[in-house]
Amino acid sequence: MQNKQVPCTGPGEIEKEDYKHALHALQVELVKLQKHFIGCNDKILVLIEGRDAAGKDGVIKRIAQHLSPRETRVVALGKPSDRDRGSWYFQRYVPHLPMPQEFVLFNRSWYNRAGVERVMGFCTDAEYEEFMDTVLEFEHMLIKSGIRLLKYYLDISRQEQKRRLKDRRKDPLKQWKVSPIDEQAIKHWDDYSAARNEMFARTHNEDTPWTVVRADDKRL
């Protein structure tokens, strides 16, 4: 059960043609919004988190599709190096933060520590607690520096995740998305649910709230 204070989108239904028109209209508004942000020298940072196979890549693709490539960046960091693991946890994210006029989307973020690292044992209990105790302070520093921070979590049902992972394994154009971690997603469903709920309980606040997106239907 998710934290009741965290706003959610959905559920609902939309026909394919209606979806195309709605998507186009929203993308037009995004272009207008980016023009406004550029004119105001704003720094926009969007975190896209969610379960494995929740559709993060697709969402980011549609958001960035018609935005100015000069002022738009997508950040998808790989596995941390030995140097990263020996540094301040947030250090490797800092170089990718937005400059004035930039719109930056993180495909996963520092919240890996609250999710996959926690569930799969890639961090110690002490490292996890240190992250949870300091992440809001870090985000408040970003806000004070002028960054506008938005946090989204894409959530899907167990059945939909299982279906999408199976589809990835079958489709040669999607097999690059399959990783050993993905293969563990169904097995650790309850663990990921518990980690998600604790993350919301401890990091959802007035200044940097989470918004949950119901993502079983990618059109919504």
Q: How far apart are CA 181 and CA 117, in angstroms?
A: 10
What single string gives the DSSP state of each residue in 6-36?
Answer: S-EE------HHHHHHHHHHHHHHHHHHHHH
| pTM as predicted | 0.91
pLDDT by position in tens, the chain (length 220) = 444 467 766 555 688 899 999 999 999 999 999 999 999 999 999 999 999 999 999 999 999 999 999 999 999 999 999 999 999 999 999 999 999 999 999 999 999 999 999 999 999 999 999 999 999 999 999 999 999 999 999 999 999 999 999 998 888 888 787 778 887 889 999 999 999 999 999 999 999 999 999 999 988 6
Residue 220: strand, helix, or coil = coil
- Is residue 101 within 8 A of residue 181, CB to CB? The reply is no
Q: How far apart are CA 110 and CA 117, in angstroms?
A: 10
CATH 3.40.50.300 fits 8-214, yes or no: yes
Angle at which helices 189-203 and 125-144 pack, to 10 degrees? 40
Contacts of 49 (CB under 8 A, 6+ apart): 56, 108, 109, 111, 115, 151, 152, 153, 154
Q: What confidence score (pLDDT) does residue 11 get? A: 54
Where along the chain do its domains lie? 8-214
